[in-house]
Amino acid sequence: MEKKAISIIALDPRAARSYGRDVEGLFGEVADVSVFSVMDGSAMGVLPHADLFAASTDAFGSPEELARHVPIDSQTMAVQASFRWQELRRLKELPAGSRVLFVNMTETMAREAIAQLEQFGITHVHWIPFYPGAELPGDVHIAVTPDEMRYVPEEIETKIDVGQRACTSGMMIEIALRLGLEHLLETEKFQTYFQSIATSNYSFDQMFARSIRLESQFHILMETLEDGVVGVNERGEVFACNRHAEEITRTSAGLVMGKPASQVFPYLPFSKCLQERERLPAKIIRLNGINVSAEVVPVMRQRACIGAFAILQRFNDVEARQSQLRNQLLHKGYRAKYGF
């Protein structure tokens, strides 16, 4: 598979490199990751083509300005950063009631980080935003900074560097979804990363993990069925095609996924099923020189039709299966009770 290209853009070159390392660590085997910075000038002009551009909110003033620096019709998204759980545990140990500087490049960046820390429950200290040009308040002996020690006043006694914030699990999920790399999300590497990054979207993460498990279970079920199964969504687009369906229709799941069933399976009455919202009884159709039994069943949710499944069986297979069942009954000693 040809490697994807991902470009990371940030205001500060060190932040850009840090975000780049995070993305490289998860996607490096399937994507080439490039980093650009506004401060060092590498993000100026129109950047080289990439399958996806991820830019920090402080890099450019607006989405329109970002659009001027990427090729036309490029995919863009925002860099989302968060703290690691291990760093939050360190900050939990700060003395309660302490006045603590949070030191960052700009006032906006410092206040944004403080808001995030308080969102994660680090509220037992009094945070004070500090940045180049700010006046140092009195009676402050502790400073916390995300890899910006150069801006921490020398007279501060206790200096804690929590390192650059990491890319959130939500950002990594979005990259995978945008680039069609969803299969990576189930790998141990991704799961370990997700568990290390602090997130306030607990319910989202739980729902996503559950959806991944359900999708895996659905795939296993589809492949264990003896019948061919083709599934479409409410728009009639194919989202499922198991191995038996591939064999019966002589097509490849990879070639039909996401395409209108009316184009790739014109002989299956999905449109009628979706419109009438009723089960269409099995009918015999001639397909690739063999007789196939095809039944289409709607999927209903609260009176709305959200898709449909076609159940395909070779007619000979149906007869053979029924014959096997009859033989099993005979071997178990079932005989007609009455003779004529």
Give the pLDDT mean for 202-229: 66
For residue range 170-179, list pLDDT tens digits in order.
899 889 988 9
Specify the pLDDT at position 316.
67
CATH for the stretch 225-320? 3.30.450.20
pTM given for the model: 0.62
Grade residue 303 by pLDDT with cuts at 50, 70 and 90.
confident
For residue range 36-47, list pLDDT tens digits in order.
999 999 999 899
Lowest mean pLDDT among 53-67, 211-225, 309-323, 324-338: 324-338
CA distance 295 to 81: 49
199 vs 158, higher pLDDT: 158
pLDDT at 293 over 70: yes
Give the pLDDT mean for 88-95: 95
Task: Give the CATH fold of the 4-79+168-212 domain.
Answer: Rossmann fold (3.40.50)
Q: Which two tokens stand for residue 118?
A: 């308080």
Residue 21, classified by CB atoms within 10 Å of its CB into exposed (0-12), middle (13-18) or buried (19+), is middle
Helix (H, G, I), strand (E, B) or coil at 39: coil
Q: Are the CB atoms for 94 and 124 separated by under 8 Å?
A: yes
pLDDT at 340 over 50: no
232 vs 220, higher pLDDT: 232
For residue range 137-157, list pLDDT tens digits in order.
988 999 999 999 999 999 999
Lowest mean pLDDT among 130-134, 147-151, 252-256: 252-256
Q: Where are the beta strands (DSSP E) in the chain?
A: 4-10, 31-37, 52-55, 76-78, 81-82, 99-103, 126-130, 142-145, 158-161, 166-167, 228-233, 238-241, 280-287, 290-301, 304-314
Q: Which two tokens stand for residue 238?
A: 């194919």
pLDDT at 162 over 80: yes
For residue range 315-324, list pLDDT tens digits in order.
765 555 555 6
DSSP 64-114: HHHHTTS-TT--EEE--EE-BHHHHHHHHTSPTT-EEEEE-SSHHHHHHHH
Specify the pLDDT at position 315.
72
CA distance 259 to 295: 20
Grade residue 267 by pLDDT with cuts at 50, 70 and 90.
very high
Helix (H, G, I), strand (E, B) or coil at 333: coil
Q: Are the CB atoms for 220 and 236 separated by under 8 Å?
A: no
Specify the pLDDT at position 60.
85
Give the pLDDT mean for 280-292: 90
Specify the pLDDT at position 277.
92
For residue range 51-77, list pLDDT tens digits in order.
999 999 888 878 788 888 999 888 999
C-alpha closest to that of 176 among 337, 335, 69, 27: 27
